[in-house]
Amino acid sequence: MNKVIHPNFQNQSEEITAIIENFTTQGTLFIDGKRNKIKLFELNNFTVNVKSFKVPNLINKLVYRFVRKSKARRSYEFANMLLQQGIGTPQPIAYFENKGILSLKDSYYMSEQLEADLTFRQLIEIPDYPEHEIILRQFTQFTHKLHEKGIAFLDHTPGNTLVRKVGEKQYEFYLVDLNRMQFHTQMNLEQRVINMAKLTPEVHLVEVMSDEYAKLYGCTYEEILKLMIKHTQYFANRFHRKRAIKTKLGLRKK
């Protein structure tokens, strides 16, 4: 088992390793996904979040063993890079890779369990949530900050941003599920809009985000709104096409 533990947690190496070794039989199930599983553990009176990445298929076992970094490693490294850039994400603690001679078997990413008030998905689903527009505009400011630093969060989807209230009408945002990111020297407007387009096709929300982002970027509201509608509709249509195909193939329940 290959392991890397954050310098701040080196003195707890033995306890951290024991958590990973007992992942299957211990811990509290937090998310039981189709691809990955997340459990919560106590680490010296500190709750940690451990994500177990599904064993990849035969080809990916080889790719992740010899060519690409594992999802666990990328999650850990990207989390550290985000924190260095002043971008919110739960504190990374460690990653583990269970490697065979010719393949990657499984991998684990451990981070702080961050308690949030809501996710961006809940902001979409609850239109009368208190201070809804304030949160949406501050989230747009957060996204603009990402783009100004050249960070493209490829899984910038509703469930992957945690929202925490930290003061009177003040919110902080934290990214999770970090294994797919790109870092650019500079991002043009279309690249930025494409990165936001998976968040929501809801017209009212898109209008508010476009208004706020236009002020920050220095373009017209009409210019960014046109691009936002174009790309949000594209991703929404693609999502529904994929669902329809899976239904026809019997891969999902109707």
pLDDT digits (tens, 9 = 90+) for 235-245: 776 655 665 55
pLDDT at 99 over 60: yes
Report which residue type is found at 21.
Answer: E
pLDDT at 66 over 60: no
pTM for this predicted structure: 0.88
**Number of helices (H), then strands (E), in the chain:** 8, 11
Question: Which residues lie across from 165 on neighbouring strands?
Answer: 171
Check if the beta carbon of residue 221 is closer than 8 Å to that of residue 211.
Answer: yes
Assign 254 a pLDDT band (cuts: 50, 70, 90): very low
Classify 107 as helix, strand or coil.
strand
Q: What is 30-56 written as a DSSP string?
A: EEE-SSEEEEEEESSS-EEEEEEEPPP
pLDDT tens digits along 151-189: 999 888 888 999 999 999 999 999 999 988 999 999 999
CB atoms within 10 A of CB 242: 12
pLDDT tens digits along 14-35: 999 999 999 999 999 999 987 7
pLDDT at 64 over 70: no
pLDDT at 252 over 60: no
Check if the beta carbon of residue 50 is closer than 8 Å to that of residue 23.
Answer: yes
Mean pLDDT of the chain: 88
